[in-house]
Amino acid sequence: MLDLLVHNATLPDGRSNMSIAVQNGRIAEVTAGLDAPAAEKVDAQGLLLAPHFVDPHFHMDATLSYGLPRVNQSGTLLEGIALWGELKPLLTAEALIERALAYCDWAVAKGLLAIRSHVDTSDPSLLAVDALLEVKRRVASYLDLQLVAFPQDGVLRSPGGVDNLKRALDKGVDVVGGIPHFERTMADGAASVKLLCELAAERGLRVDMHCDESDDPLSRHIETLAFEAQRLGLQGRATGSHCTSMHSMDNYYVSKLLPLIAEAGVSVVANPLINITLQGRHDSYPKRRGMTRVPELMAEGVNVAFGHDCVMDPWYGLGSADMLEVAHMGLHVAQMTSQSGIRQCFDAVTVNAAKVFGLEGYGLAAGCDASFVLLQARDPVEAIRLRATRLKVFRKGTLLSETPPATATLHVEGRASETSFMPARGAA
Ligand code: FE2
């Protein structure tokens, strides 16, 4: 007998009336119309069953700290960094762990079961590193938390920066981070990329840098990252995050850059909610959007994913761990409103993000982990449109979260009726 059978589900690729058979935490079979004895049966009623959401770029050490010690008045990136600097000496491990665990609960409820979080390694006490390593241990049974050693104050610019980052890796942080555009000169930025990629190659780790998070068209550290990734054999294991300067770059230069990124197997992570709010702040009108060139990168064959980046922290006061909200903003900012563009944005918070992460057993196929989400929507486009309710969230065959369907009961002119904002489909 099966442990779990989800039947009558629609999959993201459009296949309908699908049954997903689960045994020992893994998907045993994906077949149309299968019925078989199972300890638990779920009738998906034709709704969308998707692999769980993955956030490839987040800052869990800062999350839910909004208003501590004060609110970001200007809402700019630089005031956010300054505010984080004010908050750091006041952080306690207990409070940081508590906030991170609360965020992980939000994540699970939203079907977000894997998060790559940067953790600031600039403070020599490595308090945030120890705290998030503890969080990683505590959530391991229900959420994959991958940590990136992130030298927020610049690995070369801050005294002891390299040593602190190496000590964080020694403690078990998974990925090498960086922030080349925040080093003092372009040359130092490039030197930091080289040094950090060599460190990643030496230790057999992945590398993920905040890269060119500015509107300066001459901020070209992504070029160095692609070059070093290729030189050191880091193809498929290197990621450039943000890459917002690419929005403002000269088109001729970009025509040379995109193939270089593709050839080097470097993934790009855009953070739509944050890029659209933090970039273009020095512009009057017209104001640049600032998000990297998502459709052009995708067309070149680059793996592009979307991250949440911030939720209720010094940089951004909004957010709720909802990767469909991230995809929704991403497709607007990138003008990816074609049917295929919207589906690509759904991929950016699921399969593409899983690729950045290097998640094993991800997907809806036999042999994959039975970690999936039943959404109150009939396809990925509707899921994004509605930021659809996560009716049921399963991880390795175990039910982790349930949310009742979002349905309004109307009392218009004495006519009792219900709506879930899903128009009827069928004959004209
Ligand atoms: Fe970030």
Three-state DSSP class for residue 312? coil
Q: Is 73 exposed, middle or buried (0-12, 13-18, 19+ CB in 10 A)?
A: exposed
What share of the chain has pLDDT > 70, as a percent? 100
- Ligand 1 centre distance from Cα of residue 262 (Å): 22
Please give the average per-residue pLDDT across 181-195, as a whole number. 98
Out of 183, 213, 325, 382, pick the active-site residue. 213
Only one residue has tokens 């869990």, namely 60
Confidence tier at 153 by pLDDT (50, 70, 90): very high
pLDDT in tens, 234-266: 999 999 999 999 999 999 999 999 999 999 999
Confidence check: pLDDT of 428 > 80: no
- Ligand 1 centre distance from Cα of residue 106 (Å): 19
pLDDT in tens, 369-412: 999 999 999 999 999 999 999 999 999 999 999 999 999 999 99
414 vs 155, higher pLDDT: 155
- Ligand 1 centre distance from Cα of residue 167 (Å): 21
Q: What pLDDT shows up at residue 164? A: 98
Dump the DSSP string for 363-389: SSSTTSB--EEEESSSSHHHHHHHT--
Q: What pLDDT shows up at residue 91? A: 92
- DSSP letter at 59? -
Confidence check: pLDDT of 427 > 80: no
- Ligand 1 centre distance from Cα of residue 43 (Å): 39
Q: What pLDDT shows up at residue 102? A: 98
Only one residue has tokens 């969080």, namely 135
- Say how many residues make up the chain: 428
Confidence check: pLDDT of 160 > 80: yes
Q: What pLDDT shows up at residue 237? A: 98
Structural domains in the chain, CATH included, are 2-46+362-409 (2.30.40.10), 53-357 (3.20.20.140)
- Sign, Cα dihedral of 56, 81, 182, 192: negative
- Ligand 1 centre distance from Cα of residue 428 (Å): 47
What average pLDDT does the chain have?
97
pLDDT in tens, 284-328: 999 999 999 999 999 999 999 999 999 999 999 999 999 999 999
Confidence tier at 368 by pLDDT (50, 70, 90): very high
Only one residue has tokens 């104050």, namely 153
Q: What pLDDT shows up at residue 58? A: 98
pTM greater than 0.95 (yes/no): yes
- Ligand 1 centre distance from Cα of residue 404 (Å): 33
- Ligand 1 centre distance from Cα of residue 154 (Å): 13
Please give the average per-residue pLDDT across 151-156, as a whole number. 97
Please give the average per-residue pLDDT across 68-81, as a whole number. 90
CB within 8 A of 80, min separation 6: which ones? 72, 278, 313, 314, 315, 316
Tokens linked to 52: 């769980």
Please give the average per-residue pLDDT across 71-76, as a whole number. 90
User: For the chain, percent helix, then strand, then coil, each to nearest 5?
Assistant: 35, 25, 40
Query: Active site includes 29?
Result: no
- In order of 25, 331, 412, the CA distances from 343 in angstroms are 28, 9, 35
Q: What pLDDT shows up at residue 75? A: 87
Question: Do the beta carbons of residue 210 and residue 178 sit within 8 Å?
Answer: yes
Q: What pLDDT shows up at residue 420? A: 94
